[in-house]
Amino acid sequence: VAAFTSYRSDGTQNYEDVHATLFDANGNQVGTELVINTTSIGSQYQPAVSALSDGSFVIVWRDNSAYYGNPDYNRAEDVKGQLVAADGTLVGSEFVVGTSPQGSQYEAAITTLAGGDIVITWTDQSTAYGDYDSAGVVAQLYAFDKNDENEIVTIDVLKSDTDIDTGASFSLVSVTQPAKGAVSIVDNKIVFNPGTAFDHLAKNVRETVTVTYVMQDEHGATSTATATIIVTGTNDAPIVSGSVTGTATENGAASTLDAFANATDLDDGAIQTAVIDTLPAGVTYNASTHSFSLNTAHASLQALAAGETATITVSYGISDGTATTPATASWTVTGTYDAPVTTGAS
């Protein structure tokens, strides 16, 4: 991936935007040029990029949109970042790197550590991090793990927080609940439990959860920061709630049953198909309407006496292309009176 600054090329109010282009191993461009930033005012420029093990990547850049509508220039420039999936899809929203409310943050660099975490460094003019020459170098550790949609995640947010006082100790005071999932504080760490809120995510589709927490030092001074959790969808097998059933009468109208009537799939955009090995005598399947049809005049049903019943059952599977769940469809067929048939004089 190549990240670069593009000057007024997308028709927005931006003087400059951050763009990126993907390439394959032979240097051939893959897909179209990407616009990375979503902020559409001022300049977004000086990007840097680092890749993750799954092919996704993080781009950071310099953002001066705070100049606009901020006459006191308390926070003139920020460093922003964006996680991008391997196919070029933006994952979640762009985020602000660093938590200082004053001064400028710029000249960002980024690298991926051996364990998969990302380190972002930048120049800080706020003096908020303890360097009073107005040009300190600050670093922030980010974890962009692929947390599965039902995985409980523990985040040690305090390991990346700092205090200008030597030997300071921190504790977590509170954490806000996200719109989806739930968070708690356990052993001075944030524990995120997604529950079933993300079961709708298709395989490898990601959703970003941001929580705000308050930390406190040993003297009672507090600071507010955010933690970002990336939830990655996994494949959920189709769910079959029960057998599809119907009734029919010998020599009556043909009867149809919808193979998918009792089947659902939690994953967004899942496409179901019926997996059928064999069909009982007199039963056919129409893939376009995903329906089974029973020919009630089939020879296999003609031996039924009036009022006698027989059960015709189809065993099949519901597949989403990855997982298959067993299913059944069945008819209860009631026999009717058949007049005697003569075969000739004796």
Answer yes or no: are the C-beta atoms of 74 and 53 closer than 8 Å: no
State yes or no: pLDDT of 166 exceeds 60. Answer: no
> Average of pLDDT values for 103-128?
83
| Whole-number percent of the chain with pLDDT over 70 | 86
State yes or no: pLDDT of 321 exceeds 90. Answer: yes
Instruction: Give 126 or 152, the one with higher predicted confidence.
Output: 152
Per the DSSP assignment, residues forming a β-bridge with 224 are: 214
Mean pLDDT of the chain: 86
Q: Please count the other Cβ atoms lying within 10 Å of the Cβ belonging to residue 270.
A: 19
The amino acid at 195: G
Residue 301: DSSP 8-state = G
Best CA proximity match to 234, nearest among 152, 148, 145:
148
Q: pLDDT grade, residue 97 (50/70/90)?
A: confident
Instruction: Give 314 or 222, the one with higher predicted confidence.
Output: 314
Q: Which residue has the tokens 């004089």?
A: 345
State yes or no: pLDDT of 193 exceeds 80. Answer: yes
pLDDT digits (tens, 9 = 90+) for 135-161: 778 887 777 766 889 999 988 888 755
> Average of pLDDT values for 86-99?
82
Residues 327 and 275: their CA atoms lie apart, in Å, by 10
pLDDT of residue 70: 55
> Average of pLDDT values for 78-100?
84
Instruction: Give 117 or 11, the one with higher predicted confidence.
Output: 117
pLDDT of residue 38: 87
pLDDT digits (tens, 9 = 90+) for 244-255: 999 999 999 999
> Average of pLDDT values for 313-334?
97
> Average of pLDDT values for 269-296?
96
List phi, psi (to 5°) of 216.
Answer: -140, 140
pLDDT of residue 253: 94
Calculate the CA 173 to chain-centre distance.
30
Best CA proximity match to 266, nearest among 210, 318, 329:
318
pLDDT of residue 69: 59
Answer yes or no: are the C-beta atoms of 316 and 327 closer than 8 Å: yes
pLDDT of residue 135: 72
> Average of pLDDT values for 272-299?
97
pLDDT of residue 346: 55
State yes or no: pLDDT of 298 exceeds 70. Answer: yes
pLDDT of residue 146: 67
Lowest-confidence segment of 9-23, 32-46, 175-189, 305-319 by average pLDDT: 9-23
State yes or no: pLDDT of 345 exceeds 80. Answer: no
Q: Which residue has the tokens 């977590």?
A: 172
> Average of pLDDT values for 208-228?
85
> Average of pLDDT values for 71-86?
77
What are the chain's domains? 1-144 (no CATH), 146-234 (2.60.40.10), 239-335 (2.60.40.10)
List phi, psi (to 5°) of 157.
Answer: -70, -25
Tokens of 125: 């003019």
pLDDT of residue 288: 96
Answer yes or no: are the C-beta atoms of 262 and 327 closer than 8 Å: yes
Residues 55 and 328: their CA atoms lie apart, in Å, by 41
CA distances from 191 to 155, 182, 184, 273 (A): 6, 8, 5, 38
State yes or no: pLDDT of 316 exceeds 60. Answer: yes
Tokens of 6: 């593009």
